[in-house]
A and B are shown apart, each in its own frame.
Chain A
Amino acid sequence: MLRTIGRRLLLLIPTLFGLTVLLFFWVRALPGGPAAALLGERATPEAIERINEAYGFNRPLPEQYITWLGKLVQGDFGNSIETRRPVLEEFMNRFPATIELSVFALIIAVGIGVPLGYWAARNHGRWLDHLSVGASLLGITIPVFFLAFMLKWAFAVQLGWLPTTGRQDRGVDATHFTGFYVLDGVLTGEFDASWNAIVHLILPAVALATIPLAIIVRITRASVLEVVNADYVRTGRAKGVSKQIIRNRFVLRNAMLPVVTTIGLQTGLLISGAVLTETVFAFPGIGSFLANAIFARDFPVLQGFVLFIAVAYALINLLVDISYSIIDPRVRIQ
């Protein structure tokens, strides 16, 4: 097991190396550069030239790439052109917010999606089943930003139950040290602060969870339907195995494999979904920062952030693979 993990981590190195090449040249191929973004209407070709010169953006691309890579292996990801702060620092300051949001979204997606999918499968062909299939289709097709604005309009603007934007109200007594506001409040006993952070998380997390939730419902339903009709389930029933054992050990456990894969994939996608959701809710995570970096052509931020996200994504997938071998002994033997 450990050897497998070790091998997977080693494999990550060439993958990331390949990614740096792609990433670097992709980012540099974007039309317009940071200088044009920085100066706006005030740009003159001379000014752009001077800025590019100062930042080294006018040197040959391979040379720039090697300089970047050289610093990268020493842990230096450069500085944001917009904020002038180190890219790593910017990422570390914002990543907890995105993780917190993603975890909440995931809890909603899995917590509702798996039971709903199971329930739909058990009521196969009845109106409840049709309803959940129809609703999940709607969930997949509705654009996240549209949903986000509608949720806000209803629950924040019209009803006033929830805040429109932000992570925590000012004026709430809150000590921050982990960067996870909900956790901070729990650890310090400032439960008001935790609650306030949760209140701010509800709408963005629901918006972010919608698509994964809908997908999880569909996959769970299909997977359960398949397993329920499998021979070993029929055999189990014929042998008089109790209903509970059939459900938990025969059906759910086997039906979970594709579901776990989906959850793993969706977790990675949550990060890209966060780009939109965070922007709409002015939620200070990596998503909104990355969106700005694209508009500002902030090369070091784009390169650094995408790389970090790739690492996070790879690690999540590794976790998913490990969880396979826990759920399915057959994978372990292989």
Chain B
Amino acid sequence: MTLVLTGCVQSQRDDTDTGDGDSAAPSDVNSTFVFASSSDPSGLDPAFANDGETFRISRNIFEGLIGVEPGTADPAPLLAEDWTTTEDGLSTTFNLKSDVTFHDGTPFDAEAVCTNFERWFNWTGIAATESLSYYYGALYHGFAGDEDALYESCSADDELTATVTLTRPFSGFIPSLSLPAFAMQSPTAMEEFGADDVGGSAEAPEYSEYAEAHPVGTGPFTFDSWSPGESVVLQAYPDYWGEQGQVQEVVFRVIDDPTARRQALEAGDVDGYDLVAPADTAALEEAGFNVMQRDPFTILYLAFNQQVEELQDPLVREAISHAIDRDALITQVLPEGTEPATQFIPDVVNGYNEDVTTYDYDPERARELLAEAGYEDGLELTFNYPVNISRPYMPNPEEIFVALSGQLEEVGITVNPVSNEWVDYLDLIQGSADHGIHLLGWTGDYNDTDNFVGVFFGSQGNEWGFDNPELFQALAEARELPDFEEAGARYQEINEQIAQFIPGVPLAHPAPSLAFNERVISYPASPVNDEVYNMIELSE
């Protein structure tokens, strides 16, 4: 019985493998690449998305004006070959790549660029809320009619030259264009399938036909099908302007459960998956799987809520900083490739300060400072952390908590652990003052300093619970500096300012891990997840 069964499953797998025969790839290579994603995409229109699983798919279908230098977080030419920004930082003229077509045959030109910019700017109603257009709303400060809106106009100067004008300078403008949310989409397809017809009522928006089944971009893969809960399938785009690569078909299989993803890889049902648990990497490597680390573009921190009286005392904040042994934390519980953090941005980000004030591990000094602050008999603090969640910057919060609380107890701080499920946790940290020291972090979206420190310390919030108008002001000004160098120098000062203020302890820059079948020889692992599958190399 079992033998018959084996034979049957096996033969069907082989059918799948050789099913799409008309490929350019060498005939002995199975050109279907199967990746296990952790959920369905939230939709197929990246302009209406802000989650990693949607973007993972979008990056293969769509391209933006700006791309990313492979393996780094730096902006690079993509659909725009080059660009110039006026002295005042307001207008940027893009020279576009020629002979590029969308998957539906529509030529990519300056008109198409402006159609996309105008589309974002003119959203109204539910389309103009964070539940759909998170990135546009957040980075461009609103839509047509909003007084504060950053976008002014777009003009098609000639077929391959487009100029975008802003109402005030924005230093993150160019790097942010590498986000899939700002990818170029086919004007014809958007029109035909009503991309902006977010149907239903305001209270129950429905995606457009475009976002459900007809995404059209310029990327190396075209959309084939989406079976919700099961998979999304892409096919190679034969008229792609760039390198086609070996992969002819991409299947994103939805597997919610992390252990199930690992088992699917081990059984050969998928070729790879993301966010491998640190505890699994060694075993997978031993079993012959390729485990890769992205260069870290993350920050994990221990935050202080200054609504808590004890934490208002800078001496206490400094003491806790000295109590933390980052190296021990990293070797004990964080993935290989993780870097210790001295500030709240990774070192590749503009404005990283090499000489920033640091508070090295020194338990003796920590005890002294606590005594000086009047806590010689010990200090009691609530320590909040989330459970059953894995984030790129925080693969295993439970273990991180155990390691850190041990270090704190060491210097005489008594920790009251409070753990919550992820959404409850976020609600507690961001929506109330009812928390103490806590774990959180960030994965950079693109290479912009404001995308890190601006997000954390740009305004008064529940998470940190402090009011520091000086810092808020400095960040608001830095955000609008058009000159890269000047902005870098300013952000270096800000990073020092933050280090002096000690809002929390920057712990580490964890490196997210991916695991692949051994037939995957190379994968374009990217710190900002700019991973396009035409760059994958397969051996069999």
Enumerate chain A interface residues (CB-CB to B < 8 A).
Answer: 30-33, 35-45, 47-48, 50-51, 54-56, 78-79, 81-86, 90, 93-94, 149, 152-153, 156-157, 160-167, 169-172, 192, 195-196, 199, 279-282, 284-285, 288-289, 291-292, 295-297, 300
Contact = CB atoms under 8 A, between A and B. Distances in A.
Nearest to A289: B229
Interface in B423-454: 423-428, 430-431, 440-442
Q: List the 8 closest A-B pairs by CB distance, nearest first.
A: A284-B229, A171-B16, A32-B427, A79-B204, A32-B423, A282-B255, A31-B424, A47-B130
Nearest to B207: A84
Contacts of B8: 195-196, 199
Interface string B439-473: 01110000000000001000001100000000000
B260 interface: yes
B15 A171 contact: yes
A160 B264 CA distance: 11
A84 B442 contact: no
Interface stretch (B57-65, B266-274, B366-374, B403-411): B266-274
Nearest to B445: A42
A69 B226 CA distance: 32
Nearest to B256: A279
B205 A79 contact: yes
Interface residues of B, number: 67
Given A36-B431, A37-B423, A85-B206, A51 B129 contact: yes
Nearest to A168: B230
Contact of A41 (B17, B43, B426): B426
Given A85-B206, A160-B267, A282 B426 contact: no
A241 B456 CA distance: 85
Give the residue among A31, A40, A165 with the most B Cβ atoms within 10 A. Answer: A165
Contact of A149 (B231, B263, B425): B263
B439 to A, nearest CB: 11
Given A195-B8, A279-B260, 12 more contacts: A30-B424, A31-B420, A54-B202, A56-B202, A83-B228, A84-B200, A162-B5, A165-B255, A165-B260, A171-B16, A172-B15, A295-B422
A76 to B, nearest CB: 8
Nearest to A41: B442
B238 interface: no
A45 B430 contact: yes
A54 B203 contact: yes
Contacts of A42: 50, 134, 138, 455
A152 B8 CA distance: 18
A43 B200 CA distance: 25
B16 A32 contact: no
14 contacts: A31-B428, A35-B131, A41-B440, A42-B50, A44-B461, A45-B431, A47-B134, A47-B138, A79-B204, A84-B200, A279-B260, A281-B260, A284-B227, A295-B423
Contacts of B420: 31
Interface string B1-17: 01001101100110111
Contact of B12 (A171, A279, A285): A171
Contacts of B42: 82-83
A19 B207 CA distance: 30
Contacts of B430: 36, 43-45, 48
A164 B2 contact: no
B230 A166 contact: yes
A36 B6 contact: no
B414 interface: no
A195 B43 CA distance: 32
A282 B2 contact: no
B539 interface: no
B263 A32 contact: no
Contacts, number: 184
Given A163-B269, A165-B269, A282-B256, A93 B130 contact: no
Given A79-B206, A84-B43, A165-B260, A38 B15 contact: no
Nearest to B462: A45
Contacts of A44: 430, 461
B206 A170 contact: no
B292 interface: no
Pick the most buried of A31, A48, A50, A153: most chain B CB atoms within 10 A of its CB: A31
Contacts of B500: none
Interface string B323-359: 0000000000000000000000000000000000000
Contacts of B17: 171
Interface string B214-251: 00000000000001111101000000000000000001
A40 B430 CA distance: 10
Interface centre among A43, A56, A162, A167 (most CB of B within 10 A): A43
In this complex, which of A79, A170, A199 has the most chain B Cβ atoms within 10 angstroms of its Cβ? A170
B12 to A, nearest CB: 5
A215 B169 CA distance: 69
A170 B50 contact: no
Contact of B40 (A41, A83, A192): A83
Contacts of B189: none
B263 A152 contact: yes
Most buried by B among A55, A90, A282: A282
Contacts of A31: 420, 423-424, 427-428
B267 to A, nearest CB: 5
Contacts of B267: 152, 156-157, 160, 163-164
B188 interface: no
Contacts of B130: 35, 38-39, 47, 50-51
B259 interface: yes
Contacts of B230: 166-167, 284
A51 to B, nearest CB: 5
B214 to A, nearest CB: 15
B233 to A, nearest CB: 7
Between B15, B203, B268, the greatest number of chain A beta carbons within 10 A of the residue's beta carbon is seen for B203
B224 to A, nearest CB: 11
Contact of A172 (B12, B231, B254, B431): B12
